[in-house]
Amino acid sequence: MDLNGSKSAIQKIGSADSLDRAPSIYAAAEAKAEALALDVIRARFESGRVPDHMHYHNSEHTAGVINRARAIGIAIDMSDRDLLLLVIAAAFHDVVQYWSPEHRDDGSVYRRRHAGRNEVASAYEAIEAMTELDVDFQPEEQGIVASAIIGTIPGWDHECATVVQPFLVEHGVVRALALADIGSSGMDPAMYRLDGPNLFAEENLDIMTALARARRGSDIAEADQDDYRGRYVAWLRIQPEFARGRRECLANGELDGLDEEHQARVEALFCHFDESIAAAEAAALDAETLPFVQLMRQLDPDAFPDEA
User: Which CATH number fits the domain that encloses residue 172?
Assistant: 1.10.1300
**Residue 96, domain member (yes or no):** yes
Please check whether residue 2 lies inside any domain of the structure.
Answer: no
Q: Does residue 50 carry a pLDDT above 70?
A: yes
Asked if omega into 51 is within 30° of 0 (cis), the reply is yes
Q: Is the pLDDT of residue 5 over 70?
A: no
* Average confidence (pLDDT) over 113-127: 98
E-strand stretches of 40-150: 99-103, 109-113
Q: pLDDT digit string (tens) for 255-267?
A: 999 999 999 999 9
For the cut 90, the answer to whether the pLDDT of residue 137 exceeds it is: yes
CA distance 163 to 168: 12
- Note whether residue 48 is domain-resident: yes
Residues 21-29: contacts with CB within 8 Å, 24+ apart? 21/74, 24/80, 24/83, 24/84, 25/80, 26/80, 26/81, 26/83, 26/84, 26/135, 28/134, 29/84, 29/133, 29/134, 29/135
Confidence of residue 23 (pLDDT cuts 50, 70, 90): confident
Cα–Cα distance for residue pair 185/197, rounded to 1 Å: 14
Q: What is the pLDDT of residues 273-299, one digit of tens each?
A: 999 999 999 999 999 999 999 999 999
pLDDT > 70? residue 20: no
Residues 154, 203: Cα–Cα separation, whole Å = 15
Question: Per the domain annotation, does 302 fall within a domain?
Answer: no
The predicted model scores a pTM of 0.92
pLDDT greater than 80 at residue 31: yes
Q: Domain tally for the chain?
A: 1
What percentage of the chain has pLDDT greater than the value 70?
A: 94
Q: pLDDT-based confidence at 14, cuts 50/70/90?
A: very low
Q: Is residue 289 part of a domain?
A: yes
Average pLDDT value for the chain: 93
Domain assignment present for 304: no
307 located within any domain: no
- The string of pLDDT tens digits covering residues 195-222 is 999 999 999 999 999 999 999 999 999 9
- Span 40-47, average pLDDT: 98
| pLDDT higher than 90, residue 224 | yes
Contact 61, 93 (CB under 8 A): no
Asked if residues 154 and 241 have their Cβ atoms less than 8 Å apart, the reply is: no
- Classify residue 303: in a domain, yes or no: no
The full 3-state SS of 190-242, as one line of letters, equals: HHHHHHHHHHHHHHEHHHHHHHHHCCCHHHCCHHHHHHHHHHHHHHHHHHHHH
Contact (CB, 8 A) for 203 and 110: yes
Q: Which domain holds residue 213?
A: 7-296
